[in-house]
A and B are shown apart, each in its own frame.
Chain A
Amino acid sequence: MMKDFLKGLWSQHPIFRQLLGMCPTLAVTTSAENGIYMGLAVIFVLVFSSLVVALIKKFIPHQVRIAVYTVIIATFVTIVHIFLKAQYPDVSMALGPYVPLIIVNCIILGRCEAFASKHSVSTTLYDALGMGVGFTWGLFILGSIREFFGSGTVLGVAVLGSAYNPLVVMILPAGAFLVLGFLVAIMNGLERWKI
């Protein structure tokens, strides 16, 4: 059980090891806060879609399984999207089109296909939670780095003072690619030295 949970946090990390779910990873991490919101939305969708798939896996015909998974995911994403719009309009504005785009986040479809369709409901729950939390800390790290250099703040609080001239490139799209590139390289290095 614990192993299913922990693998998503490090050894099979969805962002750094599997390179899945790249569009939200790069797009919403202009600040650490946005990263966490996106992570929470993905955890919700991932956990519920995986559970539903694990529950009804026996009734899904093999040929149309991908379409069925996609419809299940799209339903939960619609729930999240409407909920955010009604309760947290600011968050909904900040994440923009990337909330509906959770539908095509390959982490979720990937977990449904590779794990939930082959395992029991309880194992699936641990796997989905692990992957979701792993994804969230990845977004948080990426968002923190970009926010720190790009606006000189940590979680919205200014820490570098007015003398700091922000590196605007960090919050531009180019900065997202560069920071993630270096983070992936660092993770490769850690793996190489067996950490």
Chain B
Amino acid sequence: MENLILIFISTVLINNLVLTYFLGICPFLGVSGKLESSFGMGMAVTFVMTLATSISWLIYHFVLLPWNMVFLQYVIFILVIASLVQIVEMFIRKFSSPLYQSLGIYLPLITTNCSILGVAIFMVTRNYHFAEAVVFGFSGGLGFALVLLIMAGIRQELEYADVPGVFKGAALTLIIAGLLSLIFMGFSGLVSS
């Protein structure tokens, strides 16, 4: 239990996927313009990431390892993620129209979100057992959502600021991300390893 809480804290705050592993930077630059869409994207990623990590773990340990097909892991993982995104999209379109309205448009974007595949790969290299993998997937998504929301809040304020022309857009977002990364380094003393 203690272990799971440590994984949660360290994935959300200390080793945040976006700010220390640079995973999911593309949606981070693209979607972080508005608070509402950031929230939608963050929730969609958390949902898919938790599911994808759990299913990838099951496939890795019950199919790939016993059948000696570990070399296929990347092809299998990306297929799991792509089909999962498709299934989730069909499922919520059928059963919950308001949820589809808010999350639907972000789902296709998630397949190419490197953080999902990244979490699946980290889960294997770090030898997590099942419960750890699920918590890792969930907290990875929450960490992504947290940074996305912070960034969207800052960018919304900056809309009215007078920024030098060449820094407008991506350049400024990257520099803010750099500062955020410095700030998040302050959490590194939280868990002593």
Contact = CB atoms under 8 A, between A and B. Distances in A.
Interface of A: 19-20, 22-23, 26-27, 66-67, 70-71, 74-75, 77-78, 81-82, 97, 100-101, 103-106, 109, 169, 172-178, 180-182, 184-186, 188-189, 192
A109 B181 contact: no
Contacts of A103: 74, 78, 117
A81 B175 CA distance: 32
A82 B71 CA distance: 8
Given A177-B177, A177-B178, A71 B78 contact: yes
Given A26-B22, A180-B174, A185-B167, A169 B74 contact: no
B122 interface: yes
10 contacts: A23-B26, A78-B75, A100-B121, A177-B175, A178-B174, A181-B175, A182-B171, A182-B175, A185-B164, A185-B167
A67 B82 contact: yes
A101 B72 contact: no
B165 interface: yes
B70 to A, nearest CB: 11
Contact of B175 (A77, A178, A188, A189): A178
B26 to A, nearest CB: 6
Interface string B155-180: 00000000011111011111101110
B78 A66 contact: no
Question: In terms of DSSP, what is the predominant structure of the interface of chain B?
Answer: helix
A101 B111 CA distance: 13
Interface in B97-113: 111-113
Contacts of B114: 23, 101, 104-105
B29 interface: yes
Given A27-B21, A104-B117, A176-B22, A78 B78 contact: no
Q: Which 7 A-B pairs have the closest CB atoms?
A: A177-B178, A181-B174, A22-B25, A181-B175, A178-B178, A185-B171, A174-B181
A100 B182 contact: no
A185 B79 CA distance: 37
Interface string B105-144: 0000001111001100110010000000000000000000
A186 B29 CA distance: 18
Contacts of A26: 22, 25
B175 A23 contact: no
Given A74-B74, A173-B181, A192 B170 contact: no
A101 B117 CA distance: 7
Contacts of B117: 100-101, 103-104
